[in-house]
A and B are shown apart, each in its own frame.
Chain A
Amino acid sequence: MADSTASVTNPSTTAMRELDPTARPRAVRKPRGILVPLWLGYVFLYLPILIVVVMSFNDSENLFVWRGFSLRWYPELFTDEAIMQGLVNTLVVATGATAIATVLGTLLAYGIAHYTRGGLIRAFAIAPAILPDLLLGIGLLTLFSLLTVTLGLHSVIIAHGVFATAFVTAIVLARMANLDPSLEEASRDLGAGPVRTFVRVTLPQLAPGIVAGALLAFTLSIDEFVIAFFTTAPTQPTLPIVIYSMVRFGVTPEVNALASLLLLVSIVTVIAAQRLTRLTGTPK
């Protein structure tokens, strides 16, 4: 969670929402030189990634010497059992944690928005997004150990469910703030029962927020290392843990290929999510 903690809390989600290009009027024109730091920033952000991608096509075993173009690391990647097993484990964990978080987070957000006065419950529900991942990791390890729970993917799912719930709650809450409660009231006035109102009126309105929350939960879980590191069994490493031990044990060029593929998946996902929020996100 370390590097993901923050991506959720308000300002950044606001930023993401503001990605909608139609949302703001045109800005004032600025001097040219203003773009120089931006370009330098991009060089800093993309140089390391570029190196990894380029080296994934390197024929040499040596990571510091370019010997010629080759695609050989890609097929080798798919025959690497540890990586493939790690990938499966990660997907299982992310799916489980997302399922837990989507249900619990949506209910929580709705309950908080409708029934709580103070910010205490809200703060409690969002706390896991802000707490250091380290604390959550060792806390859960301690708890599981005390209860002599066998560690495995289930314990990682539970652990990831905690912070994922917080993120879903935060996003659905943000969505709730933009809802027009008169729709719910109208539904009630027209004689629909509370459950019916929730299912037929509220949920559809919340859907974009729920989908966005679930997507975020899923992505964060896939990339999460620290909490998984503390709560998984040695027999069931998630992909980040596999990568961690590969990096520790001396990197093979396969890691470059893996990184490039993951980057590709991220780009496709980001663009897809972008399209998705543009399609469903702004109900105006």
Chain B
Amino acid sequence: MTETLQRPAPAARAGRVRLGLAPAPFLAPGMIYLIVFMAVPVGLLAFYTFFERGRFGGIVFEFTLDNWVKLFEPLYLGVILQSIALAGIVTLLALLIGYPMAYAIAGLSPKWRTVALVAVVLPFWTNFLIRTYAWILLLNNAGWVNQWLQGLGITDAPISMLYTPQAIVVGLLYMYLPLMVLPLYASLQQLDPSLREAATNLGATPWRAFRTVTFPLSLPGALTGCIFVFVPAMSNFVIPELIGGGKTIMIGNLVRDQFFEARDWPFGATLALLLTIFLVLVIVVQSAVSRRLTEGPRRG
């Protein structure tokens, strides 16, 4: 009961109240479900990485480290690095395009802010295959962009845009841009406008106010946005396949192909685990950095 007395803020302490119900009925069903259908499958994949493949998928119980060694073959290492590079470029572009968008939205009047934000999110709720396919219509040699370019007399022959790494970047960027804008907006709109006003009143130019006040405080949002874009971009296999023409592949394609074409489940599992480990590391680094960012100024 002492707890009741010294309760500071409801939100912060909500977790500690005991109601007299045993925890098991609440936690057990969900935990069992997730253990059986998430932890076990992932564990199984980890286990499979140490065995040889069967001819029609599955494994043969013959211990081997080959799958892990194979990751370092130039061929596969190249695909992995290429995926990191492509996802990295997409993330950077998303940041460059998404930041001004989020900044502009945060500056709108509350009514228009809602509309503007919904307008950013809306494309996200249409089927992503259809959004991808739309780019085929646009970028195709006979497609609309080429028709417009030629119609306006800017070019006289179609430019090959589809089935290139650049097309993959555009497709991924299109897919995940909203995920950059949302967290950026969330952190930008939490900024107290009076801070910026104070800076301006103290004689700072708008640019200087932005650089010294707004930008540093929006960094955690930017970092979150980068993760939101980088993580799914890195494992996407549909966009490279449909608008990359199968010529440039990413790690996701490699995993998919190991399961459905090459039927090398152990190696596919190894690739998927590598991808996961890499992404988890990226997220851990991101949260460490953003913790430092948010705590830093306040302490100082």
CB neighbours (8 Å) of B275 from chain A are: 132, 134-135
Alpha-carbon distance between A21 and B26 when the two chains are bound, in angstroms: 35
| Contact A5 B120, beta carbon cutoff 8 Å | no
Nearest opposing residue in chain A for B173, CB measure = A44
Restricting to B133-187, which residues have a CB under 8 Å from any CB of A? Answer: 133-138, 140, 142-144, 147, 174-179, 181-183, 185-187
CB neighbours (8 Å) of A31 from chain B are: 206
Number of interface residues of A (CB under 8 A): 119
Alpha-carbon distance between A49 and B183 when the two chains are bound, in angstroms: 24
* Distance in Å: Cβ of B219 to nearest Cβ of chain A: 13
| A204, CB-defined interface residue at 8 Å | no
| Contact A3 B101, beta carbon cutoff 8 Å | no
| B127, CB-defined interface residue at 8 Å | yes
Restricting to A15-46, which residues have a CB under 8 Å from any CB of B? Answer: 15-16, 18-31, 34-35, 37-38, 41-42, 44-46
CB neighbours (8 Å) of A15 from chain B are: 117, 182-183, 185-186
| A140, CB-defined interface residue at 8 Å | yes
Q: Given contacts A48-B138, A269-B125, are A140 and B41 in contact (CB under 8 A)? A: yes
CB neighbours (8 Å) of A280 from chain B are: none
B44, B107, B259: which contacts A28 (Cβ < 8 A)?
Answer: B107
B17, B196, B197, B238: which contacts A185 (Cβ < 8 A)?
Answer: B17
B42, B118, B234: which contacts A139 (Cβ < 8 A)?
Answer: B42
Alpha-carbon distance between A80 and B221 when the two chains are bound, in angstroms: 45
| A51, CB-defined interface residue at 8 Å | yes
Alpha-carbon distance between A48 and B30 when the two chains are bound, in angstroms: 40
Restricting to B1-43, which residues have a CB under 8 Å from any CB of A? Answer: 4, 7, 10-11, 13-21, 23, 25-27, 29-31, 33-34, 37-42
CB neighbours (8 Å) of B107 from chain A are: 27-30, 34
Q: Given contacts A15-B182, A48-B174, A125-B34, are A41 and B97 in contact (CB under 8 A)? A: yes
Nearest opposing residue in chain B for A144, CB measure = B41
| B255, CB-defined interface residue at 8 Å | yes
Restricting to A196-251, which residues have a CB under 8 Å from any CB of B? Answer: 197-198, 219, 223, 225-226, 230, 239-240, 243-244, 247-248, 251
| A180, CB-defined interface residue at 8 Å | yes
B17, B40, B118, B232: which contacts A274 (Cβ < 8 A)?
Answer: B118
Q: How large is the interface on B (under 10, 10 to 19, 20 to 34, 35 or more residues)?
A: 35 or more
| Contact B232 A195, beta carbon cutoff 8 Å | no
| A94, CB-defined interface residue at 8 Å | no
A2, A18, A113, A195: which contacts B21 (Cβ < 8 A)?
Answer: A195
B14, B30, B143, B193: which contacts A107 (Cβ < 8 A)?
Answer: B30
| Contact A7 B259, beta carbon cutoff 8 Å | no
CB neighbours (8 Å) of B206 from chain A are: 31
* Distance in Å: Cβ of A66 to nearest Cβ of chain B: 10
Nearest opposing residue in chain A for B170, CB measure = A44
Nearest opposing residue in chain B for A11, CB measure = B183
Q: Given contacts A2-B232, A6-B179, A274-B118, are A134 and B255 in contact (CB under 8 A)? A: yes
* Distance in Å: Cβ of A246 to nearest Cβ of chain B: 9
| Contact A41 B276, beta carbon cutoff 8 Å | no
Q: Given contacts A138-B272, A198-B19, are A230 and B183 in contact (CB under 8 A)? A: no
Q: Given contacts A15-B186, A25-B193, A38-B116, are A178 and B20 in contact (CB under 8 A)? A: no
| A150, CB-defined interface residue at 8 Å | no
Q: Given contacts A27-B109, A37-B101, A198-B21, are A49 and B123 in contact (CB under 8 A)? A: yes
| Contact A51 B144, beta carbon cutoff 8 Å | yes
CB neighbours (8 Å) of B25 from chain A are: 107
| A70, CB-defined interface residue at 8 Å | no
Top-8 shortest CB links A-B: A139-B41, A111-B26, A48-B134, A11-B183, A37-B100, A108-B30, A6-B228, A115-B23
Show 16 residue pairs from A and B whose CB-CB distance is below 8 angstroms, ordered by the A residue.
Answer: A11-B221, A25-B193, A27-B107, A64-B144, A100-B33, A127-B38, A134-B252, A135-B275, A136-B41, A143-B41, A162-B33, A219-B125, A225-B238, A230-B259, A267-B122, A274-B118
Show the binding face of A for B, using Cβ within 8 Å. Answer: 2-3, 5-7, 9-12, 14-16, 18-31, 34-35, 37-38, 41-42, 44-49, 51-52, 55, 63-64, 100, 103-105, 107-108, 110-116, 121, 124-125, 127-128, 130-136, 138-143, 145-146, 158-159, 161-162, 165-166, 169, 176-182, 184-185, 188, 194-195, 197-198, 219, 223, 225-226, 230, 239-240, 243-244, 247-248, 251, 255, 258-259, 262-263, 266-267, 269-270, 274
Show the binding face of B for A, using Cβ within 8 Å. Answer: 4, 7, 10-11, 13-21, 23, 25-27, 29-31, 33-34, 37-42, 44-45, 48, 57-58, 97-98, 100-101, 103-111, 113-114, 116-138, 140, 142-144, 147, 174-179, 181-183, 185-187, 189, 193, 196-197, 206, 221, 224-225, 227-228, 231-232, 234-238, 242, 252, 255-256, 259, 265, 268-269, 272-273, 275-276, 279, 283
